[in-house]
Structure 1
Amino acid sequence: MRVALFVPCYVDQLRPTVGLATLALLEAVGCEVAYPEEQTCCGQPFATAGEPRRAAALGRRFVEVFEAFDAIVAPSGSCVATLRHGLPRWSPDPRAHAVAARTRELCELLGDPATRPLPRGRYPHRVGIHASCHALRELRLGSPSESREPPRPDPARRLLSGLEGLELVEPARRDECCGFGGVFAIEQEAVSARMGLDRLTDHQRAGAEVIVSTDVSCLLQLEGVARRHGHPQRFLHVAEVLAAACGLDGDAGRAS
């Protein structure tokens, strides 16, 4: 499978190890990976700030850069949700609809029958999963607690559960928001910080040593709160954990 790697802004600027781990994982499951250097932001900051025209301009750019590929993969439920739902909304161009349909979150692709299984991995730590709101409710990767529908597959949880020695620990409120929400964290700083502390405390009570998510933005929010309040947990993207556990990416995802 020929795939293009889309690297979100947060990953590019603040956690590049996630991009490297993503590349290692994609190659390990047999993908031919390209990285288009002309890529830019997905447009989410403008979309959430009420600037649809500027978001649409970035959406058009995204289509131009990525339309030649069989699949576009990003280590971010948030950015993929923006593209999958935003591109068709911003443009009637059939190319935009086609690119949106081919844009996938990393764990979605790693669970695809068209790819090889990952190597067996070991990760002997107590891990709490932070469910990204966009991945859970917009991409429908897993079942939110308020849902009355039949359970939906959660590819990140399935991949982590397959690692030898890893113990998943469940917070009491398993899918509560971290409080980031893009510009929400800026406009409602106090509320955002309290939401992050509540989320972090819930994971700590469950006994998590490592908190893992599909979204770097959520992890940075929680990590910032943790450092301010002296919490000891580590915060890693699922790609970092999987790559380290499977021996694909050095020490990037090690918890100690």
Structure 2
Amino acid sequence: MRFDIITLFPEMFAPFLASGVTRRAYASDQVAVRLWNPRDYAQGNYRRVDDRPFGGGPGMVMLVEPLQACLDAIRADRAEDPATQVPLVLFSPIGKTLDHPAVEQWAQSPGAVLLCGRYEGIDQRFIDTHVDAQISLGDFVLSGGEIAALALLDAVTRLQPGVLNDAGSHQLDSFNPSLDGLLDCPHYTRPEVWQGQEVPPVLMSGHHAQIERWRRDQSLQITARHRPELLAKARAAGRLDRKDEAVLAKIADGL
């Protein structure tokens, strides 16, 4: 798997690629990351990568020529067959919001070229010609696409085999199919009592069936209180059984 990232600020990625549990995947090229600065492909003494928008208005627009030259260099370096080349992804407010099913799909892919926009935006002609998909992190605006690219990289990399210390860790993540798309339950560790607050006794009982039921009930409760729309999706997909519905009925009585 390989991600080529077009960014005017490649230095933003250096600490991320060298930190945390995912660094092993980047160091070994299990998830290869290549950084490309369009300024390196700009012309002239000042190597300009932006200009004022036609029609006036605030801000600057990224020029199409440096982006085209940079993309050409990436495609050549990847030595791709044009018929099977990886998609070019732009992080943009109009994109589909990134969610767990999308991350799982990207985790099974050969990678992509990630375009991190800056300033007021990117010349629309480049988008129309080359962009295959657009992704958003939510209904808010960032200074550039770098944070979104980092989020996608981290989410995809942690799903790769052998990246996490415990191979089953991500199976218990919120939104995971093993949790039927619900939120994760609370977790506890030592000490058993902290500032008068005790760990729920069931977690220390050694009774695995009861522990699993408690965790499921907590997951249902947290999801009902904070993300009820996820419950609706799980119910529509037939993922909730009678025990789940009984728990939810009790929760509804108490809400």
- TM-score normalised according to structure 1 size: 0.28
The structure that is helix-richer by fraction is: 1
Structure with higher Rg: it is 2
